[in-house]
Amino acid sequence: MSYKVAIVGATGEVGRAFLKVLEERNFPISELYLFASERSEGKTLTFKGESLKVQQLPSNPPAVDIALFSAGNSVSKEFAPLFVREGAIVIDNSSAFRLSPDVPLVVPEVNPDDVKEHMGIIANPNCSTIQMVVALWPIYKKVGIKAIVVSTYQSVSGAGSEAIEELKRQTGELLQNREITKSVFPRRIAMNVFPQVDSFDENLYTREELKMLFETRKIFHDPNIRVSATCVRVPVFYGHSEAINIHLGDNLSPNDAKELLSKAPSVIVADALDYPTPIDVAGKDEVFVGRIRRDMVFDPGLSMWVVADNIRKGAATNAVQIAELLHSLALV
């Protein structure tokens, strides 16, 4: 069985990663459509050695089996229902539908059965949420987790290709002692960090921080788990890092946690002090965990360091895994 697949937002960072991951994982495709905004119309992208033209996203989309969306909230809200109307299952990477009660929010290693409840749209979680829940789910199943305190260190690629260019440009301006110009981020990103990813809510948490709370609750099916996040932008091109402290429901030693995680799908546990960094994980699909140790505040508790490629497992790979799940369950 092979499928007609559409990629919406094909020329963006995640859109290009969709192509790469679909090819690497040899997802069965009979026909592939590439859609983007008007300014990208006519560009060509390569898939399995073949050059494909990018088309402007139409108001009357073709009938496809699966549509992978990564073009922002407004595009998803307008066009995803149109693709569903034509018979597609939409896997959406924006936050447009993530907290809708009738839209499954899926990480295949954590809650695969939720895809069975879809009504045409399945949401891909936030990149920071994905890597955190992949690392914590085995522990949650074993002893339970009451609370999570997480600080993220998020690469600029999470804000798109323009953000990558801003870091490149500002780094050059800084090294050449020129005036620093900015247009994407609220503060200078070159040689700097700042604790703001997305806009601020009235409670002074950012939307990114609140996503980590509400998405984790939905994915774990646990409305009582507490999550406090501080999300920080750092001058790294690819790869998000997270320092995570968890309050356990029951005791679990660091060694037992390492053994548990080493057997978990899509998790790689670092040996001893050989902790992972963004450079180590760029281009990879796994979630890397290191520095597992007893927490000095929560009792019982653990602290750990979690790193993943935000464009791969944090977006494109997770979406393709959802498509693979639909295929394996004969839901498409």
5 phi, psi to nearest 5 deg: -125, 140
Yes or no: say if 94 and 69 are a contact pair by the CB < 8 Å rule: yes
Strand partners, 268: 288
Assess whether 127 carries a catalytic annotation: yes
Look-up of token digits 């999300």: 231
Q: What is the residue type of 137?
A: W
Catalytically annotated residue among 118, 127, 231, 247: 127
Please give the Cα distance from 288 to 256 (Å, whole number): 17
User: Is 118 part of the annotated catalytic residue set?
Assistant: no
Q: Which of 124, 89, 96 is nearest to 14 (CA)?
A: 124
Helix 13-24 vs helix 317-328: crossing angle, to nearest 10? 40
Assess contact for 17 and 316: CB atoms under 8 A: yes
| Residue 80 and residue 69 in contact, taking contact as beta carbons nearer than 8 Å | yes
Catalytic residue among 118, 231, 240, 247: 240
How far apart CA 146 and CA 303 sit, in angstroms, is: 14
The DSSP element (H or E) to which 210 belongs, if any, is: helix 207-220
Q: CA dist 324 to 57, 145, 203, 205, Å?
A: 25, 29, 39, 35
Residues acting as catalytic residues:
127, 240
